[in-house]
Amino acid sequence: MLAAMPDSALSPLSAGGPALRDSGDACPGTLRLHRADDGALARVRVPGGVLSADRADALLAAAGRFGDSELHLTSRGNVQLRGLDAECGGGLAELLTAAGLLPSAAHERARNIVASPLAGLDGSPPVSGWLSGLDGLVCGSAAAASLSGRFLFALDDGRGDVDALGADVTLIAAGDSCLLRIGASDEVFRVPGGEGPRAALLAAEAFLRAARESGAWRVKDLPDGVRADLVRTVGAGAGPAVHRPRPRTATPPAPGAHASASAISVDVPLGRLTSSQWRLLTETARRYGNELRLTPWRGIVVPGPFAHDEAVEALRALDAAGLITAPDSPWTGVGACIGRPGCAKSLSDVRAEAGAAVGPVGRLPVYWSGCERRCGHPHGEWIDVVATPDGHRISHVRGERRDPRTTVPTVRNGAPARLAAAVAEARAL
Ligand code: SF4
């Protein structure tokens, strides 16, 4: 049985300290396709996860015309298209540009912005003004074009959900003002609400100057002293400092109806949507708020308003289409990387294994990875299942650190029932 340990006793999830980079990151985009075993892959940035129904149609058209027809949600609320023809880049860019999904070719990989998916829908303040403001500022900044594809902005409506995701620059709503957080610093700076997007951009530009020597891609990769200087520098140009530790764990929107049917939300098994599921979501959005919000937890919020019966009916149809519409679904909290056969690095077909091990809903989310890179893993507290040459290693992770006393011994290959039982036990911790 895994037992909780103090943070000081946990070991880093990935080996190594601050990263020294001597080359650009290889993060895919829409203009830089990544070659995978199942064809080329494009990652389309969707700032805040917000898509109009028309833009959702355009993504579906792109997936059908150039790829495998499916849409894959990422842990940043973006969309990946897979199985693409390696030569499709020009046609794909043309289609996405026409739909408004590629406003600046130079900044396409820098538009990494997550936002609280229920902002403005359940009594919390909207962050849509910050979102359009920040996206416009990023696309207008020559410096921001050199941000790594891994650099992340978060816009939190005050509930702490995306604040917990470990972004590089976070804005948190706080009445008429907002709080600006750099990396994981517990010291945040109060900024007038209307100035939040500009403060966030200035912080990102300050990061780029601070990272010149190390070539760091993210705030957490800066050497400790440089990172502390960055926080001081940004703070000097912002408002007064406030002590506010970053939340350890995020609470994603629960599947179902929210706040008097102001919105409904679904989770997507393993983040993979067929064309008919995507079409149904888009048609539902078009009938109500004309918007989809892709969440960083591989779910989708459909803003209303809905009448009570309409919400029930819409959820019933989405459930029948295979989406998760209630928190007690066995798929709730289960995630996996693409694994075999899509990724050459994978040691196993982790999606199939995750599906075979689906069981009772656990307290903790579980994420299955085909190798130690753990692409797209969750944040906060979760159960890590990694394929190794011998079998699967199961660990309890809190905040990028792993409990070294993995008391579940590696479950050897060829024992699926034992593997499922060990995962269920770890999730119940
Ligand atoms: S975690 Fe490993 S196996 Fe999974 S997609 Fe990433 S590189 Fe491939």
28 pLDDT above the threshold of 50: yes
User: From the CA of 176, how far away is ligand 1's center (Å)?
Assistant: 43
Peptide bond just before 305 cis, omega within 30 deg? yes
What gap in Å lies between CA 267 and CA 322, rounded to an integer?
A: 10
Tokens of 106: 């130079």
Residue 361, judged by CB atoms within 10 A of its CB (0-12, 13-18, 19+), counts as middle
Mean pLDDT over 184-207 rounds to 96
* Residues 251, 299 contacting (CB under 8 angstroms): no
User: From the CA of 429, how far away is ligand 1's center (Å)?
Assistant: 26
**Residue 387 near ligand 1, beta carbon < 6 Å:** no
Interval 68-113: pLDDT, tens: 999 999 999 999 999 999 889 999 999 999 999 999 999 999 999 9
* Residues 353, 363 contacting (CB under 8 angstroms): no
DSSP 19: P
Which helix (H) or strand (E) is 285 found in, with range? Answer: helix 275-287
Q: How confident is the model at residue 406 (pLDDT cuts 50, 70, 90)?
A: low
* Residues 39, 85 contacting (CB under 8 angstroms): yes
Q: How confident is the model at residue 17 (pLDDT cuts 50, 70, 90)?
A: very low
Q: How confident is the model at residue 2, as a pLDDT?
A: 45
User: From the CA of 59, how far away is ligand 1's center (Å)?
Assistant: 24
**Residue 338 near ligand 1, beta carbon < 6 Å:** yes
Sequence-separated (6 or more) residues with CB below 8 Å from residue 361: 327, 328, 329, 330, 332, 333
Sequence-separated (6 or more) residues with CB below 8 Å from residue 350: 336, 337, 339, 340, 368, 369, 370, 385, 387
What gap in Å lies between CA 383 and CA 377, rounded to an integer?
A: 10
* Residues 179, 192 contacting (CB under 8 angstroms): no
**Residue 373 near ligand 1, beta carbon < 6 Å:** yes
Single pTM value for the model: 0.92
Interval 251-289: pLDDT, tens: 899 999 998 889 999 999 999 999 999 999 999 999 999
What gap in Å lies between CA 262 and CA 291, rounded to an integer?
A: 13
Q: How confident is the model at residue 16, as a pLDDT?
A: 47
What gap in Å lies between CA 79 and CA 163, rounded to an integer?
A: 21
Beta bridge partners of 392: 387, 411
> 185: how many CB neighbours lie within 10 A of its CB?
21
298 pLDDT above the threshold of 90: yes
Q: What Cα–Cα distance (Å) separates residue 209 from each residue in 143, 180, 212?
A: 10, 18, 5
pLDDT above 90 as % of the chain: 78
Q: How confident is the model at residue 101, as a pLDDT?
A: 97
**Residue 65 near ligand 1, beta carbon < 6 Å:** no
**Residue 34 near ligand 1, beta carbon < 6 Å:** no
> For residue 387, which atom of ligand 1 is closest to its CA?
3
Ordered domains of the chain (ranges, CATH): 118-250 (no CATH), 256-320 (3.30.70), 333-427 (3.30.413.10)
